[in-house]
Structures are given as C-alpha cells and as structure tokens.
Structure 1
Amino acid sequence: MRSTVRRVSTRRSGARRHPARRRWAAALGVGALVVAGGGVLAGPAQALATASVPVDFPTHCIPPAIAGIPPIDGTTRAEITVDNAAPKVGETVTVTYTVIEAAASNPVDLALPADIMTPTGKVTVGGAQSASVTVAGPKKNDPVPGKGAFPSFSMTGTFTVTAPGQITLSPGDYNIHTSYIMELDTPCTVTDPPAPVSETIIATDEGGQVNERAIQLGAASGPSGEAVAVTGSKFTPGAAVTLAGRAGDRQTADTATVTADGSGGFGGRLTVTDPATTGIVAYEGGGWDPAKGAGPQAYTVTGGGGIPDGSQKLKTSVRAGTLSMIQDGDTVEMSAVDFGRGGASRGSLRTVTVEDYRGGPAGWSLTGKVTDFQGPGGATVGASALSWTPACATKAGSPSTCQAGSAGPVGSAGATLASAPNGTVTGGEFTVDARLALNVPAYTAPGAYSGVLTLTLT
C-alpha cells in the first residue's frame, strides 16, 4: 500500500493551485486530498429427500465484446435432477443441470444454426457435504434467431457421496459457448450465491471405506491445446498423482504428473489436446483406479485442434495489469461563509480516475474519510460536518459498470465514494467526482480551516 497525505495551507484570498497529476498504481492504492475552506469550513428439521423443482435466481451475464452491448442482469430458471436420490456413502451420483430459461439471449442480429452451442457450468453441493461439481453439455441446440432467446439446454457431471445425511443441490454459474464463424462465450454468474436449492437427496452410511479424494477444475471448457487448472484434496500425502483426460471409458494421451503435499492436496495444470475429451481424472498408481482416484470432472473442448496443411498457428498473450487511481490535483478550495450566519461551505472534489486493468473477476471500492477541520487558536469544525454527493461515469467499452456511492456524511469513519461489482470479467476506466459541503456553525471563529480527506482504493 502506498499512502500520500499532503497538507496545504490555504488563505482567504482563494488563490487557485494546479499541482501536477499524481498516480498511485497498486492492488491497494491510497491517495489524499487536503480540503480547505476559503474562509471557514428454531429446532432442526427432519431431513427428507424432495423431488426436484425448477428455481428462479438473478443472474449477471456478459455478452461477447463483439456484440457491443452492456452486461445483462436477468433471471435464470433452472432445475437439478439426479440418477439416485438415495445413494450410499461411497457411491457416485450423476447430476443433470437443466437451464430452462437462460437470462441471456443471442446478442447479435445474426441467426445461429443448430448444434453450435456448448454449455458448461457448476452445481453447488451443500448440507452433509460441500463441493462444486463441474457439468458440461453436448454441442446440441435448435437454431436460434437473431436476438432470439437461447433454447433450453442440459449439462451433466458426477460427484462421490462422502457423508451420510441430507445433501442439497443448487444451480451455479454457467457459460454458453458458441462455435459459429468465431468462438464466443457468454458467461453468466449467480448474482447472490448460492441459488435456491432445486434437489435434495438423502445419503445413507454403508459403513465401508470411503474414497474421499476429490478434484476441482479451474474451467469447465477450453479450446484444444489449452491448459486447465486442476486442484485436488484427500490424496495420500507425498504420492505421485497422475492428471489425465478421459473420453468415455478410455484415457486420452493428455497426462501430467503432480505430487501431493503433506496434507494430501495438490495444484497442477493439464494441457488438453484431444477434442474427444469429456472429463478429467486424477489418480494414484500406474493406471486409473476409482478406489485411488477422483473424477471424472466434466470438461468440454470448445474449439481449436489440429493445424491444417499449409497453415500456421499464431499465438499471443494478454498481460494482466494493476488497479490504480489518478487524482487531478490535491487541494480543494471551498467557498467562504460569514461569521454569525454559518451555513454550507461548498466545493468540488478533484476528479479521480480509476483504472482497473487486472482482467480478473474482482470488483473495486473507492472509499474516503476525513479529519476534523483545524482552524485558528485551536478552533475546529468536526469531520461529521462534511458531506458529499458522489457521481461516477464509466468509459465506453469497459467490462464493469461504475456505481456512485450514496449522498451523505463522510466523517472520520468514512463512506463509499464509488464502486464496481465482482463479475466473470471486470475492468475498465472510470471517472469519479463529488460535490462537497461543509456545514459550518454560525459562530465559528473567523479564519482559515483545513482538513484531510483520504481516499482508499481496494
């Protein structure tokens, strides 16, 4: 964290200063302004299995950048079903995530032909055990008219029951990948996770040895030749673990080896090149053994593959940047008020530009807090007397949308000036301003008063 606090003495003359712009660039940026007045300033329920039900939940979808339209905040209607509603501990349950009505629709005027959509997603497991199940669907769909609604689609995956009791299943984030003319994604995230429970199952304890090994994938799909992150838990500490692609009941040539740490966990990457891959597994020993492995977690190859004769594969990369802010100066001259009358001493915050070039899922928050205003002979105007009315504008093309904070007191405890929410893809440029007002008591001693407003970007 870099912090800059600069005090600038002010005079009644109201002479205006124009200091150079200053930049703070860091994951956590802090800046400061000196604000100066030109003159004065119940019991548990029984566990029961329930039939699956469709549920509705708010969803934030980000259309492909080529569509040139803003994010879509809508409602998804979905249902989770299972192949076994009363499994035993140690058994594998197949889950099907069906999106009945997607929050997003075809973002372009161009009609999409049949069988070009590949959906992937996550199912949230709760209750007796916690997990995130990767699910994937086939490249199969009815034709979609231009700007028309996406048709219903289903995705499947599996998880191993590790504990007896009531297990809940809720729909999670999903992604709609289209392969027509170009490869495009429309990721949709649950706005307020977890989504409502759609299916409840009851697991019974068979008393046998349970394989608790588990893996999770960093993504449910990707083009051929792309590496997917794989994390695991509950493997034998220090054991060599093979990561491998699966195509039905056979193993593909895509493999990698990692070593489990002292707690049995690991993190690795597997490059998937076989377009037939439908899942990824991890196992100990010389070959796939369900008793010493985990998975398969569903994985879909969405595009790419072999290079035709006479062609060349071109590769590049995009580097992640930083979260930073720029202040257009560090002094605010506020209007004078009269002794005996008091009232609002007004001014405008020096414009702050927020630049979010991290390229990840995290949003940001810009907050501010102010000190008491110090005047002549020890006189003060309390920090609680300063209020602001924030404003925030988003530069065109930015993935995120800036939200201005609420109008009201700033005070020494602080308040939010502006923010941008978390999302599947975030970033952009934002301009933040605020109207300032200091409520000065009528008989405040004459003279110059100043306080320090500190802005913090996280």
Structure 2
Amino acid sequence: MGSTGRRRRRLAALLGATALAVTAGGALAVPAGAVAAASAAVDFGTHCVPPPIAGLPPIDGTTTAQITVDNTTPKVGDTVTVKYKVVKPAASNPTDLALPADIMTPTGKITLGGAQSGDFTVAGPKKNDPVPGKGAFPPFEMTGTFTVTAPGAITLSPGDYNIHTSYILELDTPCTVLTPPAPVSETITATDGTQTNTRAITLGSASGAPGANVTVSGANFTPGATVTLAGRSGATQTGDTATVTADSQGAFSGTLAVSDKTTTGVVAYEGSSWSDTKGAGPAAYVVIDDTPIPDNSQKLTTTVKAGDLSMTQAGDAVQLKAVDFGKGGPSTGSLQTVTVKDFRGGPAGWSLTGKVTDFTGPGAKIDAGKLSWTPACATKAGSPSTCQPGSPGVVGGTGATLASAPDGTVTGGEFTVDAGLSLDVPAFTPPGSYSGVLTLTLT
C-alpha cells in the first residue's frame, strides 16, 4: 500500500501509567482518484474530429487512459462505480483562441469483456484548467456505474469519448477508438452472490441538448413488465419519464426525452416508483445547456470543485485504566475522536477499519484478541451520507470495522467517530507497562 492507495494512522495502546499514543503524525488523506492495484494506464489509437467551424481535418493520435473501480471483487447483482481518466487526450484546442477554465464537459463509454460484455456511459463535471490557443487539452475524469450480471473475470477497456466546450459557441470534439476494443485497463473478479437483481441498462449516448432523445436499452427485466424510464438529478427523480414494455426475454429498447438541465443519470424500474430490487442504473448522462444567450444578457457560471477523503484525530494519546495484579479484568478507555471528511462529491462511500498488535511488556505479552471496542459515530447535519458504526466486539490482529458510509448516487459529508476501548488483562499478568499498536485505515 503506497501513497496512491491507503495511508495509515497508527495509535499505540499503552497499558497502565503510560498512554495510547500516535506514532505517525499528519492527517490521513486518500486522493479522490486513488488507484486500485490491478489498474493500469493504457495507450490506444484515437480518431478525433474537430468542430466543423474550426475547418481542420480529423486528428489521428494516441490517447492515454486509466480505469479504476471501487470494488475489484463484487458479487453478481452488485453495482460497481467506475472512473475513466483520460491522462493524455489525443485532441487539442483546435483554434488560436485560448479557452478559460471550467468550460469542458467530457462524456464517454467503457467497454466490458470476459464474463460480461457490453458497454456503459460515463460523464464528468464541467471542470478543466485553462487551455492556450492550439494547446493540448488537459487530463479529465469521468464516472459511471454498471451492474454485475455474471460471475468470473470481467475486463474494462476505455471506449469512445467526447469533449464538449461551452465558450462563445457550444462545440464537440468526438474521439473514437481506432481499433476497438482498446487495451484492458482494469480487471475485476465477480462471484455468485445472494443478490438476485441483475437488471441492467445502457444508454445510446452520455450527453445531449435539452429535450434530446436518448436510447435506453435494458436486459434481465421481468418478461412483459411495464418499465419506467426516468431521469435522475443526484438521488432525486426528475420530471422526465417514459414507459416501455419488456419483451419475452426481459429486454427492451426505448427512448427518453431528457430536458432537465440538472440531470446526472438515467434509471429504469418496474412498478410505480424506484426500487433497488426492481430497478437498474443510474447510467451516467448530462444535459449540455446550449440555450442561446439573449441580447444584452450575461451568462453567469460557477464551479463546485471536488475535494478529498481525509481523517484527523483529536489527540495522540489514550490512557487506559490500570488493573491490579492477581485480579486483572477490563482496562478501559476511549479512543481519541476521529473526524472523517468526505469532500469528493462522488458516488463512493468509505470504510474506517482498525487492527491491533499484541501488547508487550516486561517479559510477557497480552494477546491482541483481548482488545475490544464499542464504536459510535455521528453525522454532521446536511451531509448527504449517514455514518454507520461498526459492530461491538474484538478488534484483534485481523481487524474490525470502526465505522463506514455506504455508496450512493451522491455521497459525502463530515463525521465524528468514537469508540469505547476495553483490554481484558489476565489476572496474573506480570506488573509493568504494556503497549500495542492500533492501526486505523480509511478507504
């Protein structure tokens, strides 16, 4: 585990007259784009078509991209969140006009192979560094989800992508893979699970103008069922809906007119309202606002920038209560409060876990399995996610969950995590100070 993966804070638990102290300083921070071990950047030939107004020929170049996932070992029925990062686009600014920051909206597709085939859409925020005239487009990142429908090794390859710029004119630069599929960037291994919902949808495109029709294709729905297609703005359904009927194989293909400019995705579900057990999606989709600006008017735009997943703690020492030789029993204390801040603004949740070493002292040790905790956590008002405490019980050398927040359409927030600690000291443990190291890991 390096700086691109998980970073650790270590708490040293010292029994008796000494304290449970931090042995590594600094706040833990997991970058929003932390890379899974199996993921690799890949190069592939790309055919990019500049906007017609530029009067330039197509560009055949090389794109460098990397795909990462939030779960490399999902079960059938799980929804996997995927990030598609274009490290080096093949296209560049086709004009001599410098482009300001935050006017580029990327969309694209990812191709599945191996145990599961097909593709799904991804979309990114309108976020970029300034681009000089004829300068290279900067890196960008897109996010989407897909539902695992089959066990086995599933490969993920970068697909076609489009760069939409909103500055003076609304322009597109579509880039297609010259020899599809592109090389595999990520592989996950799916197993059979207890979940039975394998419904899945794909979109014909990942973006469109207000009111544009998007083709929605579905599979594994109930044969003959009426299926509602709907737009999503975060976790809220928009007013854009349509209905289709699944065929005898549980498949369908329909169109949905998407007008709501806050749309972030499209879902499909059976029944009168959304249900995780009878729905699929959301598949990433964004509305490109190309509404002309009236005369004598000015369009005002702002950007909300994504941050990091991080943790800090209130102090670096915990005093556990002393126990008597010949009696032993619980040596208790409280974990220093840990504050988790999830400012990434994406769909991924988080997990805070801990494990402890044996407690060593004068010629003896207390087994790691003797330390237990009772977790508690609180969520700051207004946070999209809700913190869930881990189960009370043994921490031990194999570890246990202290707190977590689940995946969701939009996640994030600020959380405080605490725990009561209890070390069960054997009655005739030799007198002296005993210490062990409790390691907390945030992912």
Equivalent of residue 249 in structure 1, options 235, 255, 260: 235
Assess if the C-alpha contact under 8 Å between 1:111 and 1:145 holds in 2.
yes
Equivalent pair of 2:78/2:195 in contact (CA under 8 Å): no
Corresponding residue SS for 2:244: strand
Identity over aligned pairs, percent: 73
The structure 1 residue matched to 2:112, chosen from 119, 125, 129, is 125
Comparing 268-277 and 297-306, the one that deviates more: 297-306
Q: Secondary structure at the match of 1:122?
A: strand
Cα deviation, residue 291, structure 1 = 1.2
Alignment: residue pair count: 262
**1:281 maps to 2:244:** no
Aligned mates of 2:133, 2:293 — CA distance in 1: 31
Q: Which of 1 and 2 has higher RCO (CA within 8 Å, sep 6+)? A: 1
State the secondary structure of the residue aligned to 2:277.
helix
- The separation in 1 between residues aligned to 2:38 and 2:164, in whole angstroms, is 30
Residue 298 of structure 1 corresponds to which residue in structure 2? 284
Q: Which residue of 2 aligns with 1:260?
A: 246
Q: How far off is 1:76 after superposition?
A: 0.2
Task: Please say if residues 63 and 71 of structure 1, whose CA atoms lie closer than 8 Å, have aligned partners that are also in contact.
Answer: yes
Among 223, 229, 233, the residue aligned to 1:237: 223
Match of 1:203 in 2: 190
Matched, 1:168 2:136: no
Residues 308/237 of structure 1: CA separation in 2 closer, same or farther (3 Å cut): farther
Residue by residue over 1:322-343, the C-alpha shift from the partner in whole angstroms, topping out at 9 and shown as x without a partner, is xxxxxxxxxxxxxxxxxxxxxx
Q: Does 1:104 align with 2:91?
A: yes
Q: Look up the match of 2:139.
A: 152
Question: TM-score when scaled to structure 2?
Answer: 0.57
Partners of 1:106 and 1:145 within 8 A in 2? yes
1:217 maps to a residue whose letter is L
CA shift at 1:305, angstroms?
A: 5.4
Does residue 191 (structure 1) correspond to residue 178 (structure 2)? The answer is yes
Q: Which residue of 2 aligns with 1:84?
A: 71
Bigger Cα Rg: 1
Cα offset for 1:131? 2.3
Partner of 2:18: none
Q: For 1:306 and 1:149, how far apart are their aligned partners in 2?
A: 28
Deviations 1:198-247 (A, max 9, x none): 111111222x2422212111110011111111111221121111000001
- Aligned residue for 2:311? none
TM-score (norm 1): 0.55
The alignment status of 1:114 with 2:101, answered yes or no, reads yes
When residues 309 and 291 of structure 1 are mapped into structure 2, their CA distance, relative to the original with a 3 A threshold, is farther
SS at match of 2:53: helix
Runs of 4+ with >6 A deviation: 306-311
Which consecutive residues of structure 2, in runs of 5 or more, have no partner in the other structure? Answer: 1-35, 298-443
Aligned residues of 1:241 and 1:257 also touching (Cα < 8 A): yes
Offset from partner CA, 1:365-393 (integer Å, 9 cap, x none): xxxxxxxxxxxxxxxxxxxxxxxxxxxxx
Contact kept? 2:207, 2:286, Cα under 8 Å: yes
- Report the AA paired with residue 141 of structure 1: N
Counterpart Cα distance in 2 of 1:205 and 1:227: 36
Task: For residue 157 of structure 1, report the CA deviation from its aligned partner.
Answer: 0.3
Deviation for aligned residue 1:304: 3.3
Deviation digits for residues 42-91 of structure 1 (CA, Å, limit 9, x no counterpart): xxxxxxx9611100000001110001010000000000000111112211
1:138 alignment counterpart = 125
Is 1:225–1:304's contact at 8 Å kept on the other side of the alignment? no
Contact 2:199–2:221 (Cα < 8 Å) also in 1:
yes
SS of residue in 2 equivalent to 1:224: coil
Distance in 2 (alpha carbons) for counterparts of 1:66 and 1:310:
25
CA separation of 1:101 and 1:283: change in aligned 2, threshold 3 A: same
Q: What is the distance in 2 between the residues matched to 1:278 and 1:74?
A: 30
Tell me if the contact between 2:120 and 2:203 (Cα under 8 Å) persists in the aligned partners: no
Say what the alpha-carbon RMSD is for the aligned residues.
Answer: 1.9
Q: Give secondary structure in 1 for the equivalent of 2:261.
A: coil
